[in-house]
Copies of this chain bind each other. A is one copy, B any other.
Amino acid sequence: MKLRAPFGRLLIAPALLIAAALAGLGASGGGDYQHQFDASGALMQPPDYLWRQWVYVGTPVTPNSLNPPEAAFPEFHNVYMRPSDFEHWRRTGKFRDGTTLMKELVSVGSTQALSGKGFFEGEFIGLEATIKDSKRFASEPGNWGYFTFSHEKPPYPKVAKQKPTGECNACHAQGNAQGVAEDFVFTAYYPVIRAARPGAKP
């Protein structure tokens, strides 16, 4: 019976090493971050700007200068997908339960550079999120909940209340109807998601 002790220690040490390796995964790639909600159902902000290391999927820009007198969304929208959800999409072509997308708003910083006239990303000015959760958002269309942390520069508030259904979802539903969104995600504007679809030419 005494032989079992050293075996036990050997098995625990590797387990710790594997845990450390997986923690490293989280630090460098966003890994399998689990979003947290507070007691009121508000979404907690992922720590340490972690989403900026998730899988980037695309950036629409609709500047004020092209939408007089003022654009509805005058910023760049850098959109990121949680890596484990991206892996699931790549295998299945589906947004699985729990799929999390973060959208960071970036001001138009410059409109002229050495490369020509255009739009160049300036400063971070906001953070939003959407999560598909069939239990938590059972009554929402597509089971997507939408959250705005901030439309101001960082540091962003640590929690965000869920937005009313109509405020975001109506436009996403219209995207479905127009064929520019799939399951309420504007895939037409996210080439990284489209290229990762099973069977797609990447």
A contact residues vs B (CB 8 Å cutoff): 3, 6-7, 10-11, 13-14, 17-18, 21-22, 24-25, 27-31, 49, 52-53, 55-56, 58-63, 66-67, 71-73, 76, 78, 80, 83-84, 86-87, 106, 109-110, 113-124, 154-155, 171, 174-175, 178, 180, 186, 188-192, 195-196, 201-202
Most B CB contacts (10 A, CB to CB) among A60, A83, A186 go to A60
Assess whether A195 is in contact with B25, with CB atoms less than 8 Å apart. no
| Copies of the protein in its oligomer | 2
Residues of B within 8 A of A17 (CB): 14, 18
17 contacts between A and B (CB under 8 A): A6-B7, A14-B18, A21-B25, A27-B87, A28-B87, A29-B31, A49-B202, A56-B80, A59-B78, A61-B61, A62-B116, A66-B118, A72-B115, A72-B116, A114-B180, A121-B189, A121-B190
- Cα of A109 to Cα of B28 in the assembled complex, Å: 31
Residues of B within 8 A of A56 (CB): 52, 56, 78, 80
